[in-house]
Amino acid sequence: MVLNFNVIADLAFLLLGLAYGLGALALPEANFGDPMAPKVYPLIISGLMCVLSVVLLASEIKKQKAGTAEKAVQFKIGNEGKLVAFVSVACVLYAFLFNILGYVIATFLFVEAIMVFISKGKKLLSPTLWALGFAVGIYLLFGKVLAITLPPMPFLDI
C-alpha cells in the first residue's frame, strides 16, 4: 500500500471515529430521562464515520491495485510546509502573548513577523508600516468605536 494523502486521511479519520465512539461509551449517564440519551447521537456519528472511512480506504486500495492512485506523500518539508509551520507557531505564540503584551504590541509583532518571514526578510519598511497601521487601526476601531474590550498596553493606560 502506498502511503498517499488519501490513505493518511482515511486512516486518521477512522481513528478519530473510533476514538470519538469510545469517548461516547465512556460518557457519564444522564441523571434524569433516558440515561443513555446523551450517548446515542455521538455513537451514530461515530459509526457513520468509521463506515465511511473504511469504505474510502477500501476503494483507495482498489485504486492502488489498478495503478491509478496518487503518488505517496513526500515527508520532506518544502517551502510551503515551512511557511505553514511558522505561521501556526506564530498563532500559538500570539495567543500566549495577547494578554501579556496587550493588543497593539502583540498584534504588531504577529503581523510583522509573518510579513517579514513571507518576504524572506528582504523587505522591512513596508511590512512595518502595514503592521503598525493595522494594529493601531484595529485597536481604535474595535476597542474605541465598537466598544470591544481589548487588552491595553502594559504600564501605559491607553
HSE-up of 87 (CA within 13 Å, CB side)? 10
Only one residue has cell 505561521, namely: 87
Min dist. Cβ of residue 154 to other proteins (A): 16
Output the smallest distance, CB 1 to other proteins, in A: 16
Judged by DSSP in three states, 3 sits in: coil
Lookup: cell for 127: 511590512
Sketch the per residue contact string, 125 through 154, with other proteins: x for CB under 8 A, - otherwise.
Answer: -xx--xx--xx--x---x---xxxxx----
Q: How far is the CB of 72 from other proteins (least distance, A)?
A: 14
Output the CA torsion 119→121→124→127 (10° steps).
Answer: 40
Count of chain residues binding other proteins (CB under 8 A):
65
Could you say which residues in the range 63-82 bind other proteins, by CB under 8 A?
A: 78-80
Q: How far is the C-alpha of 107 from the C-alpha of 99, rounded, in Å?
A: 11
Could you say whether residue 109 binds other proteins (CB under 8 A)?
no
For the record, the C-alpha cell of 67 comes out as 495503478
Backbone angles phi, psi at 147, to 5 degrees: 55, 45
Coil/strand/helix, residue 151: coil
The verdict on 38 binding other proteins (CB under 8 A) reads yes
Q: Which residues bind other proteins (CB under 8 A)?
A: 5-6, 8-9, 13, 16-17, 20, 23-24, 27-34, 37-38, 41-42, 45, 48-49, 52-53, 55-56, 59, 78-80, 83-84, 87-88, 91-92, 94-96, 98-99, 107, 110-111, 114-115, 118-119, 123, 126-127, 130-131, 134-135, 138, 142, 146-150
